[in-house]
Amino acid sequence: MQKATRQTNRWSNRLAYILAATGAAVGLGNIWKFPYITGQNGGGAFVLVYLVCILFIGIPVMMAEVALGKHGRHTPGRSVLEVAKSSGKSHWWSLVGWMGVVSGYLILSFYVVITGWALAYIYKAGAGDFGTGDPKQVQALFADLTNDGWALLGWTSTVVLATVLVIGKGVKAGLERAVSALMPLLFLLLLGLAIYAASEGDFWAAFHFMFAPDFSKLSINGVVVALGHSFFTLSLASGIMIMYGAYLPEGVSIAKSSVWIAFFDTLVALIAGMVIYPVVFANHLEPGAGPGLIFQTLPIAFGQMPGGRLVGVLFFIMLVFAAFTSALALIESSVAWLVEKRGFGRWQAAFAAGFGIWLLSLGTIASVSNMPIAIFHTPWGEVHFFAILDYLTANIALPIGGLLIAIFTGWVANKALMADMIDAPWVFRLWHPVIKYLAPLAILLVFLQLTGVIHL
């Protein structure tokens, strides 16, 4: 039996919506991923391109997604279908919504592994494993964790199980209340750490690294990573913003709320960078250390600062919470799909989706712990399963998903219908050319450049 009732659920007000969307947006992407990809891609120039992507592509695409959801009032695939039908266009366009659900599922499979690292670090911080913050000891601690496949399996399984238990219950109220209390705390803690890092670490070296653009350090691949990350960090092209748009009350400005969500998300990422880089430079660490960067730098600060044990425990608890709320949002659309379309019970769906995630996560676990089965020899050298998955989702699937959303809302969907959703006429006049020409063209150019078809 197919449920086709339009969504009658609504966020209670504008603030509730902004908080929920910010909760989904702020996660590992801001605190774990943004600092390390900035390090790998040379700093300032990368940050600048990332900010440009957020402003000119991310925010317009977010508005497009929320508008699709608001008109469709359904799960992502179905909402896009509704808009296609109202515009007299092919039902195949619903694939645009479906692509997001699949991307979200694949992202989740490595998201749970990294959340597992953060969980392990709550324990390590509490046990005093950071010692006096000796950089060598802290680096060894991280290497010991990632080399221990069984430990990773244990932490990851705990995260998957917790996700399944909460999603299965369907009780979002308790969690959402916890999140709205914890997110401001996370923000305050980050701010406090930034002040500490600025006074104890090398503030100016970090500031220069993050904000003085040196374009000779930025490759075309770096531009793709910046573009992909702007989608990843705003939770775009992964179904969720269409879903949240379906719950949008009448009278909330899609434009203004999108700007706020993007602003908070970007702020958290920039502050996270200014927490991590002063420590990196003061201790002569490598900015391009990769996915382990925050786990190899922050513990140095926690080991050295007064009360660092408590601050460390608190910090990793917050990080796990930020990641956990994103994980719940990431699994929700597949669970909802199993319930609606496959007739699963809620619990059955949660366990089925969770089992799939768990199986997929084994690939990431095997590759971070350097097991040969997850390392492939290609003409470009050795590639790890985790790296492939990360690249395919964040840098290929999300930008292409965003491109299709831009094409669909800019060219295919009925213009009057979109104008009706994107509230004020002047906002629509600004948004429409951006989503119709600028966003698709920019995404296409980046891709053609990447594949070597053109050289700018």
* Residues binding ligand TRP (CB under 6 A): 24-25, 27-30, 104, 107, 232-233, 235, 238, 240, 326, 329-330
- Cα–Cα–Cα angle for 279, 282, 286, nearest 5°? 75
Closest approach of ligand TRP to the CB of residue 426, in Å: 29
The full length of the chain comes to 456
Widest Cα–Cα separation across the chain: 66
Query: Which C-beta is closer to ligand TRP: that of 138 or that of 241?
Result: 241
Task: Sort 48 into a burial class: Cβ within 10 Å, 0-12 / 13-18 / 19+.
Answer: middle
Per-position DSSP letters for 382-415, written without gaps between them = EEEHHHHHHIIIIIIIHHHHHHHHHHIIIIIS-H
Neighbours of 126 (CB within 10 A): 14
What is the 3-class SS of 5-58, one letter each residue? CCCCCCCCCHHHHHHHHHHHHCCHHHHHHHHHHHHHCCCHHHHHHHHHHHHHHH
Closest approach of ligand TRP to the CB of residue 9, in Å: 17
Query: Which C-beta is closer to ligand TRP: that of 104 or that of 287?
Result: 104
Q: Which residues of 82-116 are buried (b: 16+ CB within 10 A; e: fewer)?
A: bbbeebebeeebbebbbbbbbbbbbbbbbbbbbbb
Query: Which C-beta is closer to ligand TRP: that of 32 or that of 130?
Result: 32
Query: Which C-beta is closer to ligand TRP: that of 235 or that of 283?
Result: 235
Query: Which C-beta is closer to ligand TRP: that of 129 or that of 390?
Result: 390
Closest approach of ligand TRP to the CB of residue 366, in Å: 23
Distance, in Å, from the CA atom of 351 to the CA atom of 164, rounded to the nearest integer, reads 6
Strand-pair partners of 377? 382
Closest approach of ligand TRP to the CB of residue 23, in Å: 9
Closest approach of ligand TRP to the CB of residue 329, in Å: 4
Query: Which C-beta is closer to ligand TRP: that of 28 or that of 167?
Result: 28
Tell me the two tokens of residue 160. Answer: 């998957």
Closest approach of ligand TRP to the CB of residue 27, in Å: 3
Q: Which residue is nearest to ligand TRP (CB)?
A: 29
Closest approach of ligand TRP to the CB of residue 243, in Å: 9
Query: Which C-beta is closer to ligand TRP: that of 329 or that of 350?
Result: 329
Query: Which C-beta is closer to ligand TRP: that of 25 or that of 255?
Result: 25
Residue 376: strand, helix, or coil: strand
Query: Which C-beta is closer to ligand TRP: that of 271 or that of 330?
Result: 330
Distances (CA, A) of 6 to 71, 115, 292, 410: 10, 34, 44, 24
Closest alpha carbon to 159 in 327, 385, 334, 350 = 327
Query: Which C-beta is closer to ligand TRP: that of 141 or that of 274?
Result: 274
Closest approach of ligand TRP to the CB of residue 250, in Å: 24
Closest approach of ligand TRP to the CB of residue 294, in Å: 13
Closest approach of ligand TRP to the CB of residue 34, in Å: 8
Closest approach of ligand TRP to the CB of residue 394, in Å: 8
Tell me the two tokens of residue 70. Answer: 């608001």
| Alpha helices per DSSP H over 148-253 | 149-169, 173-200, 203-211, 220-233, 240-246
Query: Which C-beta is closer to ligand TRP: that of 37 or that of 210?
Result: 37
Residue showing tokens 């951006």: 434
